[in-house]
Amino acid sequence: MILLLAEQSGPLREATTFRRLIAGAESNVAIGVCRLGHSAGWIGRVGDDELGRAILLRLRGEGVDLTHARADPAAPTGLVIRERREFGPIDVVYYRRGSAASRLGPDDLDEDYIRAARILHITGITPALSTACRDAVFAAADIARAAGVTVVLDPNLRLKLWSKDEARLILRELAGKADVLLPGAEEAELLTGENDPEAAARALLGLGPKLVVVKTGVDGSLAVSESEVVRVPAMPLARVVDPVGAGDAFAAGFHVGQLRGLSLPETLWLANRCGALAMTVPGDIEGLPRWDEVMDASQSDIRR
């Protein structure tokens, strides 16, 4: 999507000037992985318009493979408008119904391309956009699982796109096709009814994944499998500039930790720091760190 981010802090109704940026959970993760020194591709649609071209130009410039990105001449590029606040919840307005992204379907998938990956990253946003999008996400997960590709699901709950009941039903079903889940604490509670992150993670393991990693905000992150529980504290920040996109940065760090063969504690260390650094800059992708920036942020024995 194109993101219009308010320049002034306060309610969206009072904002008069905006910065034009780009946003989108899956594309954020792809950029984050590329900045950390690995390769990533993005499967999706934008409109065949100037805004769509701006998105593809930025993704290509970040090194993301766009072999299977399409410019749709029959639908516009989606739009999100976001207010800026120093504290409290941030209001977001979406213009996504009928957008090019909502027209993604199973026919947009290249099975050989998915089979060649090491990780397939999917979120709960895409299946909320349309029935065709939902079918595409489930089909991609099935292709990856059959080929032995690790499927990672970030629920990325957006209740402006669907109801809690519908989200819970679909995301629990999709979790059964994932190897790894990356929920936030509130998402884990919504999916399980458990308000304790470890109890929620154990309940989510019962749906089928091998590993559940719960992002616990200022407490860091918690990973639970059948054989171990790992907790890693958050990287302290003097000030949060913009919390949006931190979960995508966390996911990128998690993927790169796994791709580099780091241990689970080391992987969570990396993911936590990527998420923290993303919050020091306004915008969804502007704060996604590069490898040397992560290493400079904290002295550690996992330099590789």
Task: Check pLDDT > 60 for residue 300.
Answer: no
Q: What pLDDT shows up at residue 241? A: 77
Contacts of residue 123, defined as CB under 8 A and 6 or more positions apart, other chains included, come to 25, 26, 153, 154, 155, 156
Q: What is the pLDDT of residues 160-171, one digit of tens each?
A: 889 999 999 999
Q: Are 252 and 278 in contact (CB under 8 A)?
A: no
In Å, how far from its chain's centre is CA 3?
16
**pLDDT-derived band of residue 28, with 50, 70 and 90 as boundaries?**
very high
pLDDT-wise least confident of 27-36, 122-131, 161-170, 285-294:
285-294
Which residues does the annotation mark as catalytic?
248
Q: What pLDDT shows up at residue 297? A: 65
**pLDDT-derived band of residue 99, with 50, 70 and 90 as boundaries?**
very high
pTM check: above 0.85? yes
Q: Are 43 and 37 in contact (CB under 8 A)?
A: no
Of the chain, the percentage scoring pLDDT greater than 70 comes to 97
Q: What is the pLDDT of residues 269-278, one digit of tens each?
A: 999 999 999 8
Domains of the chain: 24-73+104-297 (3.40.1190.20)
Sign of CA dihedral 11, 13, 15, 19: positive
Averaged pLDDT for residues 134-147: 98
Cα separation, 226 vs 114, in Å, equals 28
Q: What pLDDT shows up at residue 303? A: 37
Q: What is the pLDDT of residues 47-90, one digit of tens each?
A: 999 999 999 999 999 999 999 999 999 999 999 999 988 777 88
Cα–Cα distance list, 278 to 34, 282, 283 (Å): 15, 8, 9
Q: Where are the beta strands (DSSP E) in 91-136?
A: 92-95, 119-123
- At residue 117, the 3 state secondary structure works out as coil
Q: What pLDDT shows up at residue 85? A: 80
Q: What is the pLDDT of residues 184-242, one digit of tens each?
A: 999 999 999 999 999 999 999 999 999 999 999 889 999 999 999 999 998 888 777 77
Task: Check pLDDT > 90 for residue 100.
Answer: yes
Task: Check pLDDT > 60 for residue 125.
Answer: yes
